[in-house]
Amino acid sequence: MRALLRRLLDTPAYVWAALLLTALLLFLAQVTRLQGVDGAVVVRQAHVQLPLEPASAARPVALPHVWDDVHRSWSGEAWYRITLPPELAALARQEPGIGLLLPRVGVRFRVLFNGHELASEGWRRGPGYLDAGTQAHFVALPASLMRSPWQDNRIEVQLRGQALRISGLSPVWFGPADVLLQRHHWLQWWQVHLTWMVAASAFLLGLLSLLIWAHSGERLFGLLAGGLLVLTGRLALSAPVFLPGPFVLWDYLHKLSFTLYCGLIYLFMSELFDFGQGPARKLVRMMMLAGPLWLAVQAWAGDYQLYRLWTGVIVLVCLFALLQVMHRARWGLDVNQRLMVVVGLATVVTGLRDFMVVQLGLPGDADIRWMTPGSLVLMFAMGWVLLQRVTRSLEQVGRLNAELARQVSEREEELHAVFDRLRQAENQRVLETERRRLTRDMHDGLGSQLVQTLNLVRSSGERIESAAVASMLSHALEELRMTLDSLEPMEGDLPTILGTLRQRITPALQAARIELDWQVQEVPAVPGLEARGVMHLFRCLQEVFANVVKHAHATRVTVRTWQEGSQVLLSVSDNGVGLGAMPAGQAFRAGGRGMGNLRLRAGEIGAELRFSDARPGTCVTLAFDLGGATARREGPA
């Protein structure tokens, strides 16, 4: 069962549409075949009298009798006297009695039986839009009103015509009431119920298209919505309704709606097929522009023939457009386009059939129009296409989203790669900076120590002063240790940095018999004292202590740290001779060069260097700002 359903769904829509349509057309042909109804007699003869022209005598006419064929723009009144067929005399007094069926009569009428009015449609209504001819009418003939002998019974159908409409009387059916009632129901279904059904469907589908159009702005849906809403209007005006107001106006709208419907549906198809500006499209546009004018002229002239002509034009244009579509089909059509060609063709066939049977009077059941079910099929096909289209665009959105996600993830990967490269470059830069600093430190400290030692060994000749060499080598080792210490993570912890330095300077101070007074207190972490900063601080303090040991003649040196507001202070003070008393050129290594170095290094770590008189002795103070990154990142050591 499921496999069968799947196979059905896999079959292209146009194939089964073609099959269904063929079946429908065959069914319509069968239903509207001219055939008699059992027991019914069709009367095709009547005597007509024009009451507005009392002088004229009653004259026999053949039915159907259409006034427009006789008088252009006829809107008078006509009384048709019909003789009851003698075959019914036997049935008249039996159950269920007899009746008559008026398949088409219009546009307003009443039926009199032996002078008694049995039925009427719009007869006493004031001006307005009404066409009784849109549906069939059944009238039961009560036995009580029957006269004897049979020939004395008179049926009179009085009608009022309306310019621009087919006014007149179709052949009248007489027969058993039940049989005629059945036929009446059948016609009612085709003429009224089906019309309303199609109108409701067109309205809903049109509304849906309108919403999609409002949402998506796609012309295709706008055209479809226009076409379907126009069709709704046309079908409403084709049903038996009474509308107040001038008849001409409603009739004009009714006729115009057909032109617009055909035009809009063609434009929809041309848009669907993506045809561009083909000649058919131009022709249809011209038709849609000319239609209102032509119909206005028709209304003004009151000539129904002009409308008949116009209907012919529409059918021809539609045929031409459809031929164009078929012509295009040589380049291949997709499933939807094929479906529309098939359905469009079927619709044109229904239109053509109605035109030929109703307007040109070719044989066929003119009471049943093919166009109405034809429109329904066309509409459903359009609904199908609509659904396909929306589904496809949803799929496209899905695909676009997936593509977008793919692109985003690609960009993300690229960005990651770029960030990685940047990070690597940054690491490289940091490594390079650090390498340069280490090289410089090695060069200035360890390197020069080793060179001095080497020179000493070389100049000593055979007699090497091993004590001096050992001392110089341990100096070199100390230098190296200091460099390594500076690489340990100190995180700006000034007391620990000083403690580490203390280990290095203690032997020298002990040798010089200088007492070290350690007054270091906990202070906040100093920003900028990372590896490079630590090395600068080491060198600064080395310089300061070297100065104390060599020139100050001090016996005591005090190292102190404390905080003052937003500053951390570090002081090294001695009780020696003081700066002023030092021989010129001695203090801070050879005439201020040491001082310059001190200032430079202090600047590198963002510290302010102050010298003051300690009375006695000298006090060197380094003030660090806690405020932030005052330390410069780059620069010569």
Partner 1 sequence: MTDTDERPAGTAAAGDTRIYLIEDDDSILQFLQRALLARPGWHLSGHSGSLAHAREHALRSQANVFLVDLGLPDGNGEDLLRLLAREQPEAELLVFTVFGEESRLIGALSAGATGYVLKGCSPQELIEAIEQIREGGAPISPLLARLLLKQFRSVQAGQPPDPADTPDEVVWLSERETEVLKLVAHGYVNKEIAAKLGISPATVSTHIKNLYRKLSVHSRVQVVRIAQERGLL
Query: Which of these segments, 192-200, 303-311, 417-425, 498-506, binds partner 1 (CB under 8 A)?
Result: 498-506
Helix 494-511 vs helix 466-487: crossing angle, to nearest 10: 170
Contact 610, 636 (CB under 8 A): no
Residue 488 near partner 1 by CB under 8 A: yes
Closest to partner 1 by CB, 155 vs 544, is: 544
In the sheet where 515-519 sits, what is the strand order?
A: 515-519, 556-564, 567-574, 618-625, 607-613
Contact 135, 188 (CB under 8 A): yes
Task: Give CB contacts under 8 A, 24+ apart, made by 589-597.
Answer: 589/543, 589/546, 589/547, 594/543, 594/547, 597/539, 597/543
- Interface with partner 1 (CB under 8 A), residue from 196, 242, 300, 518: 518
- Interface with partner 1 (CB under 8 A), residue from 521, 525, 593, 596: 521
Q: Is 62 left (phi over 0), alpha (psi -120 to 50) or beta?
A: beta
- Of 220-259, binders to partner 1 (CB under 8 A) are none
Residue 504 near partner 1 by CB under 8 A: no
Binding mask 543-582 for partner 1 (x = CB under 8 A): ----------------------------------------
Residue 419 near partner 1 by CB under 8 A: no
In the sheet where 41-43 sits, what is the strand order?
A: 41-43, 172-176, 98-102, 137-141
Contact 518, 557 (CB under 8 A): no
Query: Which of these segments, 21-29, 163-171, 296-304, 497-505, binds partner 1 (CB under 8 A)?
Result: 497-505
Residue 443: CA atoms inside 13 Å, Cβ hemisphere, count?
7
CB of 518 to partner 1, least distance (A): 6
For tokens 């692109």, name the residue.
407
CB of 442 to partner 1, least distance (A): 14
CB of 574 to partner 1, least distance (A): 18
- Interface with partner 1 (CB under 8 A), residue from 128, 278, 495, 603: 495
CB of 614 to partner 1, least distance (A): 21
Query: Which of these segments, 49-57, 264-272, 518-526, 584-592, binds partner 1 (CB under 8 A)?
Result: 518-526
Give the 3-state secondary structure of 566-611.
Answer: CEEEEEEEECCCCCCCCCCCCCCCCCCHHHHHHHHHHHHCCEEEEE
**Which stretches of 273-334 are DSSP H helices?**
279-301, 304-328
Closest to partner 1 by CB, 120 vs 496, is: 496
Query: Which of these segments, 31-39, 104-112, 231-239, 517-525, binds partner 1 (CB under 8 A)?
Result: 517-525
Residue 160 near partner 1 by CB under 8 A: no
Q: Please list, residue by residue across 93-111, b when 16 or more beta carbons sit within 10 angstroms of its beta carbon and e when fewer do.
A: eeeebbbbbbbbbbbbbbb
Query: Which of these segments, 32-40, 190-198, 223-231, 499-507, binds partner 1 (CB under 8 A)?
Result: 499-507
Closest to partner 1 by CB, 424 vs 474, is: 474
Q: How far apart are CA 222 and CA 557, in angstroms?
A: 97
- Indicate the helix (H) or strand (E) that contains 478: helix 466-487
CB of 445 to partner 1, least distance (A): 14
- Residue 46's Cβ-count burial label (10 Å; 0-12, 13-18, 19+) is buried
Residue 262 near partner 1 by CB under 8 A: no
- Cα 446–chain centre separation: 73
CB of 532 to partner 1, least distance (A): 17
Classified as helix, coil or strand, 384 is: helix
- Interface with partner 1 (CB under 8 A), residue from 72, 160, 475, 502: 502
Closest to partner 1 by CB, 302 vs 495, is: 495
- Interface with partner 1 (CB under 8 A), residue from 244, 499, 524, 591: 499
Query: Which of these segments, 60-68, 238-246, 257-265, 492-500, binds partner 1 (CB under 8 A)?
Result: 492-500
Binding mask 591-610 for partner 1 (x = CB under 8 A): --------------------
Helix 247-272 vs helix 219-238: crossing angle, to nearest 10: 150
- Cα 454–chain centre separation: 83
CB of 480 to partner 1, least distance (A): 7
Closest to partner 1 by CB, 307 vs 545, is: 545
Count residues near partner 1 (CB under 8 A). 24
- Tell me which DSSP letter residue 622 carries: E
Residue 496 near partner 1 by CB under 8 A: yes
Minimal CA–CA distance to 552: which of 560, 543, 561, 562? 543
**Which stretches of 157-276 are DSSP H helices?**
177-188, 194-216, 219-238, 247-272
Binding mask 454-483 for partner 1 (x = CB under 8 A): --------------------x--x--xx--
CB of 620 to partner 1, least distance (A): 18
User: What one-letter code names the amino acid at 316?
Assistant: L
Residues forming contacts to partner 1 in the complex (CB under 8 A) are 474, 477, 480-481, 484-485, 488-490, 493, 495-496, 498-503, 506, 510, 518, 520-522
